[in-house]
Structure 1
Amino acid sequence: MSRIRNENDIPVTVEVEGESWAAALTPRLAQFAAVARHEHVTRAAQELGVPQSTLSRAMVRLEEDLGVALFARRGRTVALTPAGGTFLRSVERALAEVDRAAESVRADADPAAGRIAFGFLHTLGSETVPGLIRGFRASHPRVRFQLVQNYGQAMIERMRAGGLDLCLTSPVPDAPDLVARRLDEQRLRLVVPDDHRLAGRRRVRLAEAATELFVTLEPGYGLRRITDALCAEAGFTPKIAFEGEEAETLRGLVAAGLGVALLPPPAVPRPGVAELTVTAPRAVREIGVAWLDGHPDTPPVAAFKRFLLSRRGQLLD
């Protein structure tokens, strides 16, 4: 516990463990640094634009709160004690870090050259996202992107923790703390080895693969939920041979004859597999953009959000 005076000069008892020291002392750190730099209370008060008496009292209170003499006083001039010198070095580092943090967040919010933390699914990373960024930067050439690839739920949790401004995901999430907008849909194909009994077909009903072994993404991935739901709609529960974390890895497993898979189209055709149109049930996944409800946007994030919404129906072109 420590006795700290508030702005009305009333002593209050506060905790001084963990972060509470910072909360109690931060308003006086810049004052302390100015007095130490000038070694003169009056000149420091003039720099800070506060009365000399106010600054003098603040320094006395700082020493009382810490229980340490920071200054040796000689009239209106002061000199740091050894404890004051040690404290000053840490205070200067802390104030410099605050300055850097303030400049960083101001730079990130710059309409012309700010930063956007943008998450997206791995399967959208080879063509869709680069095309979107290229299109957006045609009118915002200096905006910077922090790009994060992950599966849907992980991106949403990162967004809730403050690590993302918005994300492209599938299925389109439905949660009370999110705003989500459908942008497009993507057809899924039944991918089979090129020597498979169905490989010569162009179209297939998903029920025709009911006896096959499936390779799928791990539980928790949006595409895995869609796969399970489509198979259930077709009247069967898929027998899972392998689970992975990335669609192109699954394509490789199919090419090796280890199973079949429901996957979005590849960026580049993969040898060793045949990709069949699924006629029933309708095999698509919706792609949407999501962000936290009620969170204010910086100008670059707002501009990119408008750009994405303007691409409805054209996202995968």
Structure 2
Amino acid sequence: MSFDINNDLTVRKLVIFMTFMEKGTIARTAEALNLSGVSVHRALHTLEENVRCPLFTHKGRNLIALPSAWTLLEYCQEMAQILDRGLEEARKVAGVGQGRLRVGTLYSLTLETVPRLIMGMKLRRPDLEMDLTMGSNDMLLHMLQEGSLDAILISISESDIDRNSLEVLPLFHDDIFLAAPASATLNTRELADLRDYKDQKFVALAEGFATYAGFQEAFHIAGFEPEIVTRVNDIFSMLSLVQAGVGFTLMPGRMKKVYENSLQLLKLAEPYQMQQLIAIVFARNREQDPSLRALAAEGRMYARSLQDLA
């Protein structure tokens, strides 16, 4: 490459130049590009300095293109076509603007939140396809950062989100409950003090899931290490084990509608009470992507609908 890094040759100047060559006058060029005549004249003048050869001659108050300008125009047009193709191919590789949105979500959000968002997106952009990937908080965040997902729905905390590079759209806060088998003998009139369940067996999610950190923190406050029978990789398997009487667990409130008749759910006592913040997260440098803007708009509507019900 023979370009001088200090040369102030820009795409803006070349676009103004190509428009001038098409329109023929500074006034018509300024009108077409919504610029002032002074800006157009300055761009053409400095372009000559950058190219380091005369491109125009004056005839009265008009600029007349020299043969050198027509030669440059041919290559500029070719350059513009190549640049357009390059930008389009780059967007394809990045998965932007291809009629497909790759969304990652926690398993627990597939009960209500994700279906509501998908239905809203279908109304906004009927031709858009949505690929859904389910996994743990950590896995989804990693996939977003490496570019294999366009947006994720996860539980967030300030420690695991880089606000400089990621855009965060909060949806709702979710309380954590103690979940027990229907056959267990519990005092349902009192808030659940985890110290009272020191002798019980528990099932839990594996490390990296949204509820894992809260599980660890709650029992740290309670002052004991629970006996964990098994760890699983999705919340539905975990709650099925609780239903079967394998053990107790901690569960986010968004699962209540499905399991409130088959499990006993107790609100935690004050020292152990905690909330998860569920949010849509995507890369800040893609905030102008039409598909992500539609998802964000649908997310805001969904968040408002939950506030109206509160």
Matched, 1:302 2:293: yes
- Aligned match for 1:204, one of 180, 183, 192: 192
Q: Are the counterparts in 1 of residues 94 and 147 from structure 2 also a CA contact under 8 Å?
A: no
Match of 1:211, SS?
coil
CA–CA distance in structure 2, aligned partners of residues 224 and 210 of structure 1: 18
What letter is aligned with 1:292?
Answer: A
Q: 2:226 aligns with which of 235, 238, 242?
A: 238
Amino acid at match of 1:158: M
1:193-272 equivalences in 2 (<5 Å): 193-198=181-186, 201=189, 203-264=191-252, 265-269=255-259, 272=262
What SS does the corresponding residue of 1:185 show, helix, strand or coil? Answer: strand
8 Å Cα contact 2:117-2:295 kept in structure 1: no
- Asked if 1:151 is matched to 2:136, the reply is yes
The structural deviation recorded for 1:201 is 5.0
**TM-score, scaled to structure 2:** 0.61
Q: Which amino acid aligns with 2:133?
A: V
Partner of 2:161: 174
What's the CA shift for 1:307? Answer: 2.4
Provide the secondary structure at the position in 2 that maps to 1:197.
coil
CA distance in 2, matches of 1:105, 1:242: 41
- For residues 187 and 105 of structure 2, what CA distance do their matches in structure 1 show? 31
Q: Considering fraction of residues, name the structure with more helix.
A: 2
Q: Deviations over 1:78-126 (max 9, x none)?
A: xxxxxxxxxxxxxxxxxxxx9x96895799527xxx3222111011112
| Structure-2 residue corresponding to 1:278 | 268
Going from structure 1 to structure 2, the CA distance change for 1:246 and 1:107 (only over 3 Å counts) comes to: closer
| Pair 1:102–1:225, CA change in 2 (3 A) | closer
Report the identity percentage: 23
Structure 1 residue runs without a partner (length 5+): 1-5, 9-48, 51-97
- Number of residue pairs matched? 222
TM-score by length of 1: 0.60
Q: In structure 2, what is the Cα distance between the partners aligned to 1:207 and 1:284?
A: 20
Report the counterpart of residue 106 of structure 2 in structure 1: 121
Two-structure CA RMSD over aligned residues (Å):
3.2
Closer/same/farther in 2, CA of residues 309 and 205 from structure 1, 3 Å limit: same
Q: Structure 1 165/193 Cα, relative in aligned 2: closer, same or farther at 3 Å?
A: same
Mean CA deviation greater in 216-225 or 234-243: 234-243
Task: Sort the Cα spacing of 1:302 and 1:238 in 2 relative to 1 into closer, same or farther, 3 A.
Answer: same
Distance 1:249 1:199, change over 3 A: farther
Note the C-alpha offset of 1:251. 1.3
With 169-178 and 188-197 compared, the bigger mean Cα shift is at 169-178
Kindly tell me: are residues 196 and 105 of structure 1, through their superposed partners in 2, closer, same or farther at Cα, counting changes over 3 Å? Answer: same
Query: Retained in 2: the 8 A contact 1:228–1:238?
Result: no
CA contact (8 A) 1:185 1:286 kept: yes
Q: Judging changes above 3 Å, is the alpha-carbon distance between structure 1 residues 251 and 124 closer, same or farther for their aligned structure 2 residues?
A: same
One-letter code of the match for 2:119?
R
Q: Secondary structure at the match of 2:192?
A: strand
- Give the Å deviation of 1:285: 1.8
